[in-house]
Amino acid sequence: RKEVEQDPGPFNVPEGATVAFNCTYSNSASQSFFWYRQDCRKEPKLLMSVYSSGNEDGRFTAQLNRASQYISLLIRDSKLSDSATYLCVVTPSGSSNTGKLIFGQGTTLQVKP
Amino acid sequence: NAGVMQNPRHLVRRRGQEARLRCSPMKGHSHVYWYRQLPEEGLKFMVYLQKENIIDESGMPKERFSAEFPKEGPSILRIQQVVRGDSAAYFCASSPPPGRGRVTGELFFGEGSRLTVL
């Protein structure tokens, strides 16, 4: 079983739609959680951190459910520029102070006009 | 204000040759990480280095792969006797030392070096 699992998609949605991505992780001792964004053939960039209390940044909302080992990302009012691959990322136990991140395969979003 | 610089961006090697990938971290960053992204797969951690020290190499294949981050100059990921399965995008990332405005989990990635083994 993969440590971080995501539905690879692609998710094809019209502009203005609301879309949600989910991610599960296998290690209950995982410490920190993030969403990264990766454009086609580009480098990943941090989108936002994920907390149990939820984290909202404009049109983006991330949520963590530790009991279910489940992470979500909600994008409201999708824009064409949101088209990218969204990577679910966790840090292993004991690695919160290092750069050892565990990446999911990514979920591809295509926003259509 | 240059970001993480990697070169070459694209590298083609024949089986059995050596590949050297270079990475200069962002200014002020003393921690360097190498990740590999195979086609249709997620990024996989390879190694974490500080100047002249390998901190964590738990993701490095046991043979043919090595990494260094010398006191002067860029970090280098070296792959000896490349095989077709080494074809991948190799991303370098950097971060500042812990506590110096560092956001946990935020790595700054370079644009990657894409290795193709013929």
Is it the case that residue A94 has pLDDT exceeding 70? no
Residue B75 CA to residue B49 CA, distance in Å, equals 8
pLDDT band at B65, cuts 50/70/90? very high
Which CA distances in Å does B83 have to B16, B17, B43, B47, B60? 7, 9, 19, 20, 15
What is the DSSP pairing of strand B53-56 with strand B43-50? antiparallel
Say if the Cβ atoms of A104 and B40 lie within 8 Å: no
Give which of A41, A111, A62, A61 is closest to A83, Cα–Cα: A111
CB neighbour list of residue A10: distance below 8 Å, 6 or more residues apart: A108, A109, A110
Contact B117, B83 (CB under 8 A): yes
Over residues B84-94, the pLDDT tens digits come to 999 999 999 99
* Closest among B12, B7, B6, B8 to B115, alpha carbons compared: B12
pLDDT tens readout for residues A56-70: 999 999 999 999 999
Count Cβ atoms within 10 A of the Cβ of residue B2 and give its class: 0-12 exposed, 13-18 middle, 19 or more buried.
exposed
Task: For residue B101, name the pLDDT band (cuts at 50, 70, 90).
Answer: low
B106: confidence class by pLDDT, cuts 50, 70, 90: confident
Judged against a pLDDT cut of 80, whether residue A98 lies above it is answered with: no
Both tokens of A102, joined, read 């565990």
Residue range A11-61, pLDDT digits in tens? 999 999 999 999 999 988 888 899 999 999 899 999 999 988 889 999 999
Q: What is the distance in angstroms between the Cα of B87 and the nearest Cα belonging to chain A? A: 15
DSSP B103: P
- Residue A15 structure tokens: 């502009």
Using 50, 70 and 90 to split pLDDT, how confident is the model at A74? very high
Contact present, A12 and A108 (Cβ < 8 Å):
no
pLDDT attached to residue B88: 96
Interface probe for A, chosen from B55, B107, B108, B111 (most Cβ of A below 10 Å), is B107
Which residue on chain B is closest to A106 by alpha carbon?
A: B42
